[in-house]
């Protein structure tokens, strides 16, 4: 991915956790690769926890450098990367301070990108302050999740930002859309005659999408206790992955063609009747347990969490899409903290053959499945049945693997690296459009409202397990189970 696009990348929250772990390492990898970032491109960090550039560079060396380059740091590349970085110390709560930012960047070349790696409460004040000094013109703005607490608050933020920036200037980031296997899912479906004819209700029995974490809420107890798994993961990541899996072929890969098809999926989600939420939605909360031999505490005892909290740390849903392609096919979504493994994957379970001359094993559910793993390792695995060696016709499951790090010798691009390059180069296809976000909130809100009204506590599950038993029971009613044995 070569570019000549000059840019000034302004990073609000320049000393935050996201900047440290993801954004600055991603920019370094693009710099190190050569040709991905224009030589004239500059990174301007904005923060309050440093007083000058020297102090900020020291912070970058201490805190960012350990997160870059798994195989070691190229010191020459690192030194030249640091030369790109400038620093501005301003108080984000004081609009008058933004004059200093304007003065610092007004002579820097190229498109201006403003990345808001801050809390959502600062999105609107920052946008107003940028506009007050004329920095909203010929620029792009990147908004991190969460973008609102519900549909009303999301619309309020979008309305306020939309008064200052046009929709084509706004990049709502969802890093799962930048992952290599998600890109390969599009290639797999729309670039191969093998799969697309099977990608429909006649041949697909069910689809599972899982994002599981071993970690708890860590130091984010205050934030998480007012958010929960449905808002934090389902409304954005899981529904975005579902829309990619289920979308119709776009006529091209330009930004609006792709996002139009995703929007059609989100609008076709079958509304959940509040009376049925207990049957199709499971929420849980982790209790104490053991993960990889280490005892971990219950959610209710985590710092910042209310002891009587009813916030869910686990959600499993049965989702249906009311359109011609997917009518009657259940989509099962699952996410949670303190689960048995860290994994994100999409599982497409194909229907069994209608009649088998080879015995009952050819008729079992899940004999043919496609597993698209997003993390920790990025692979695509196709399962099918083959004859075991020896006497008789005994069938066994075998699989074909595409391990990206083995097949492609060059290094894989991390999600944030791809998405940041897309922002700099003005590509919107992998970012969430406002109408997509609104459609997702409309579908999620009845679940949130019913849970709040019912006053029923989340179902408990021990840390280190795969969540409440009710999650597995929901799938058992459809003759299937979660795929949990993958390595």
| pTM of structure | 0.92
The pLDDT, as a whole number, for residue 243 is 96
With contact defined as beta carbons under 8 Å apart, do 439 and 153 qualify?
Answer: no
The pLDDT, as a whole number, for residue 487 is 46
- Dist CA 455 CA 475 (whole Å): 25
Backbone angles phi and psi of 326, in degrees to 5 = -115, 5
Residue whose token pair is 């060396």: 61
Query: Tell me, what DSSP letter sits at residue 433?
Result: -
Q: Do domains 7-144 and 177-409+433-476 have the same CATH topology?
A: no
pLDDT in tens, the chain (487 residues): 445 579 999 999 999 999 999 999 999 999 998 889 999 999 999 988 778 999 999 999 999 999 987 667 889 999 999 999 999 999 888 889 999 999 999 999 899 999 999 988 899 999 999 999 999 999 999 998 878 889 999 999 999 999 999 999 999 999 989 988 888 888 888 988 888 899 999 999 999 999 999 999 987 889 899 999 999 999 999 999 999 999 999 998 888 999 999 999 999 999 999 889 999 999 999 999 999 999 999 999 999 999 999 999 999 999 999 999 999 999 999 999 999 999 999 999 999 888 777 766 666 766 889 999 988 888 888 998 888 888 777 787 888 887 776 777 666 788 999 999 999 999 999 999 999 999 999 999 999 999 999 888 999 999 999 999 999 999 999 989 998 754 4
- Dist CA 177 CA 376 (whole Å): 15
Annotated binding site: 48, 91-92, 145, 175, 179, 213, 232, 337
Annotated binding site for substrate: 175, 179, 213, 232, 337
Which listed CATH number (3.30.1490.100, 3.40.630.10, 3.30.360.10, 2.60.40.10) goes with 177-409+433-476? 3.30.360.10
DSSP assignment of 65-124 equals: GGGS-TT---HHHHHHHHHHEEEEE--TT-GGGHHHHHHHHTTS-SEEEEEE-S-GGGHH
- Dist CA 281 CA 228 (whole Å): 14
With contact defined as beta carbons under 8 Å apart, do 134 and 171 qualify?
Answer: no
Query: Tell me, what DSSP letter sits at residue 39?
Result: T
Kind of pairing between the strands at 289-291 and 294-296: antiparallel
Q: Report the CATH architecture of 7-144.
A: 3-Layer(aba) Sandwich (3.40)
Tell me the domain boundaries of the chain: 7-144, 177-409+433-476
- Dist CA 370 CA 358 (whole Å): 22
The two structure tokens encoding residue 168: 């084509």
Active-site residues: which are they? 237
Annotated binding site for NADP(+): 48, 91-92, 145
- Identify any residues that bridge with 290 across adjacent strands, giving them in sequence order: 295
The pLDDT, as a whole number, for residue 485 is 59
């Amino acid at each position: 991915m070569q570019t000549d696009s000059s840019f000034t990348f302004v990073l609000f929250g320049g000393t935050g956790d996201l900047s440290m772990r993801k954004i600055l390492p991603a920019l370094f990898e693009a710099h190190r690769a050569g040709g991905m970032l224009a030589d004239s491109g500059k990174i301007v960090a904005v923060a309050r926890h440093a007083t000058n550039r020297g102090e900020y560079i020291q912070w970058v060396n201490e805190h960012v450098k350990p997160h870059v380059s798994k195989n070691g740091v190229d010191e020459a590349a690192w030194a030249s990367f640091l030369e790109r970085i400038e620093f501005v110390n301003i108080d984000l709560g004081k609009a008058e301070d933004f004059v200093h930012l304007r003065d610092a960047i007004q002579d820097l070349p190229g498109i201006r990108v403003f990345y808001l790696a801050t809390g959502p409460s600062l999105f609107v004040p920052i946008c107003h302050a940028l506009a007050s000094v004329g920095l909203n013109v010929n620029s792009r703005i990147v908004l991190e999740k969460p973008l609102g607490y519900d549909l009303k608050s999301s619309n309020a933020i979008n309305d306020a930002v939309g008064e200052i920036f046009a929709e084509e200037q706004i990049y709502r980031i969802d890093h799962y859309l930048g992952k290599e296997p998600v890109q390969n899912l599009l290639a797999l479906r729309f670039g191969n005659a093998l799969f697309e004819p099977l990608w429909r209700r006649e041949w697909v029995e069910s689809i599972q999408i899982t994002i599981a974490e071993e970690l708890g809420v860590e130091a984010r107890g205050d934030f998480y206790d007012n958010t929960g798994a449905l808002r934090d993961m389902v409304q954005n990541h899981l529904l975005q992955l579902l829309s990619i899996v289920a979308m119709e072929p776009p006529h091209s890969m330009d930004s609006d063609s792709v996002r139009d098809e995703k929007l059609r999926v989100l609008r076709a989600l079958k509304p959940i009747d509040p009376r049925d939420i207990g049957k199709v939605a499971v929420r849980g909360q982790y209790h104490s347990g053991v993960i990889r031999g280490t005892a971990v505490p219950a959610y209710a005892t985590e710092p910042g969490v209310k002891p009587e909290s009813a916030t869910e740390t686990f959600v499993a849903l049965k989702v249906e899409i009311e359109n011609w392609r997917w009518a009657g096919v259940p989509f099962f979504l699952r996410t949670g903290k303190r689960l048995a493994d860290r994994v994100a994957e999409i599982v497409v379970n194909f229907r069994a053959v209608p009649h088998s001359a080879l015995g009952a094993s050819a008729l079992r559910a899940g004999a043919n499945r496609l597993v698209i793993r997003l993390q920790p390792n990025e692979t695509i695995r196709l399962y099918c049945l083959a004859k075991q060696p020896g006497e008789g016709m005994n069938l066994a499951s075998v699989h074909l693997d595409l391990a990206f790090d083995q097949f492609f010798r060059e290094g894989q691009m991390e999600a944030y690296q791809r998405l940041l390059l897309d922002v700099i180069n003005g590509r919107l296809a992998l970012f969430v459009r406002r109408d997509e976000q609104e459609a997702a909130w409309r579908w999620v809100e009845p679940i949130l409202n019913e849970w709040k009204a019912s006053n029923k506590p989340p179902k408990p599950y021990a840390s280190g397990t795969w969540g409440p038993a009710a999650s597995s029971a929901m799938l058992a009613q459809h003759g299937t189970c979660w795929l949990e044995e993958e390595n």
